[in-house]
Amino acid sequence: MWLAENWKDYEVIDCSKGEKLERWGSFLLVRPDPQVIWDTPKTHRGWKKMNGHYHRSAKGGGEWEFFDLPKQWTIQYKELIFNLKPFSFKHTGLFPEQAANWDWFSEKIKNADRPIKVLNLFAYTGGATLAAAKAGASVTHVDASKGMVGWAKENAASSGLENAPIRWLVDDCVKFVEREIRRGNHYDAVIMDPPSYGRGPKGEIWKIEDAIHPLVKLCTQVLSEKPLFFLINSYTTGLAPSVLSYMIGTEICSKFGGTVSSEEIGLPVTETGLVLPCGASGRWEA
């Protein structure tokens, strides 16, 4: 498992009975997590002294209950600063487990000894975009949500990257890649973090099981002659790490050689020494 274990401003303190107790900077949140099916005693004081608690509804969705939590605050990862706020369906605007991937590709970019162009699809609030830009890459950031792209720009400004070579695009990811193929544009690396289900700006329906393999195949056509890496993240429980490996290997290794590895990604749990699984990632590198 690939662990995001270099955080100072974030930690999973404990997990039990379908919930996780997290520290985001100086604030404690309790949020549901479907992976936490074990039942251990909730002895840490944070279970009773949290600043925010997301209660899942039996009818689907849920709602926040707040106890002295600001509307917005920041946390830092190395030299990156992220703006956080609780919003619908339990999220805060950041997936801390992705730091395991940020560290991996940042080293690859720094050691490439050449300019690197990165395409970040389904780029959300820009964690991977900022990590790649901080490592020295020029980045094209694509997300279908105007609000998420705006949030990512705020994170860039907070991190001192407002003048970094980043293109911010509100667009349907598949259609954007198709246009880039027609334009003859190429990238040295592709990052994608697709949702299990979603809709594009004009109501286009995305189902990862149906759409991910065709998109990977499309993306091989925008890779440069000497690509550096390719990264797919998946939070869909039906897509095992081995599935990511087969898909990347079939489409990318056949064209460019290189090696593929896929693992679960996870976060260490302070109280128990366990690791909370948080989906899977597939990596290709030259």
With respect to residue 211, please indicate whether it lies within any of the assigned structural domains. Answer: yes
Q: Are residues 275 and 138 in the same domain?
A: yes
**pLDDT more than 70, % of the chain:** 97
Please give the Cα distance from 140 to 133 (Å, whole number).
10
With respect to residue 14, please indicate whether it lies within any of the assigned structural domains. Answer: yes
Q: What is the pLDDT of residue 264?
A: 95
pLDDT band per the 50, 70, 90 thresholds, residue 238: low
Please give the Cα distance from 284 to 253 (Å, whole number).
8
Mean pLDDT of the 106-114 span: 98
The pTM of this model reads 0.94
Q: What is the pLDDT of residue 200?
A: 64
Q: Are residues 58 and 155 in the same domain?
A: no
| Count of structural domains, the chain | 2
- Residue 18 belongs to what domain range? 2-84
Q: Are residues 265 and 126 in the same domain?
A: yes
Q: What is the pLDDT of residue 237?
A: 61
Q: Are residues 139 and 270 in the same domain?
A: yes
pLDDT band per the 50, 70, 90 thresholds, residue 242: very high
Query: By CB neighbour count within 10 A (0-12 exposed, 13-18 middle, 19+ buried), where does 30 fall?
Result: buried
Mean pLDDT of the 151-166 span: 98
With respect to residue 115, please indicate whether it lies within any of the assigned structural domains. Answer: yes
Mean pLDDT of the 235-254 span: 87
Q: What is the DSSP letter of 269?
A: B
With respect to residue 202, please indicate whether it lies within any of the assigned structural domains. Answer: yes
The residue whose two tokens read 């009773």 is 48
From 84, 107, 129, the end of a domain falls on 84
Please give the Cα distance from 124 to 192 (Å, whole number).
10
Q: Are residues 229 and 269 in the same domain?
A: yes
Mean pLDDT of the 140-148 span: 95
Say whether pLDDT at 196 is over 80: no
- CATH code where residue 215 lies: 3.40.50.150
Say whether pLDDT at 267 is over 80: yes
Distances from the Cα of 110 to the Cαs of 18, 256, 262, 274, in angstroms? 39, 21, 22, 32
With respect to residue 143, please indicate whether it lies within any of the assigned structural domains. Answer: yes
Mean pLDDT of the 30-50 span: 95
Mean pLDDT of the 234-257 span: 88
Q: Are residues 250 and 110 in the same domain?
A: yes
Q: What is the pLDDT of residue 89?
A: 82
Q: Are residues 63 and 170 in the same domain?
A: no
- CATH code where residue 20 lies: 2.60.40.1180
Q: Are residues 147 and 234 in the same domain?
A: yes
Query: By CB neighbour count within 10 A (0-12 exposed, 13-18 middle, 19+ buried), where does 140 fall?
Result: buried
Q: List CB contacts of 145: < 8 A, sequence separation 6 or more.
A: 170
How do beta strands 19-24 and 27-32 pair?
Answer: antiparallel
Say whether pLDDT at 210 is over 90: no
Q: Quote the tokens at residue 13.
A: 């303190």
Q: What is the pLDDT of residue 209?
A: 77
With respect to residue 89, please indicate whether it lies within any of the assigned structural domains. Answer: no
- Output the average pLDDT for the chain: 94
Q: Quote the tokens at residue 94.
A: 């950041």
Report yes or no: 20 and 42 within 8 Å, Cβ to Cβ.
no
Q: What is the pLDDT of residue 23?
A: 98
CA angle 187, 95, 77 (to 5 degrees): 85
Mean pLDDT of the 29-50 span: 95
Report yes or no: 181 and 219 within 8 Å, Cβ to Cβ.
no
Say whether pLDDT at 100 is over 90: yes
Please give the Cα distance from 140 to 183 (Å, whole number).
15
With respect to residue 92, please indicate whether it lies within any of the assigned structural domains. Answer: no
With respect to residue 116, please indicate whether it lies within any of the assigned structural domains. Answer: yes
From 18, 51, 84, the end of a domain falls on 84
Q: Are residues 190 and 223 in the same domain?
A: yes
Q: What is the pLDDT of residue 124?
A: 95
Say whether pLDDT at 195 is over 90: no
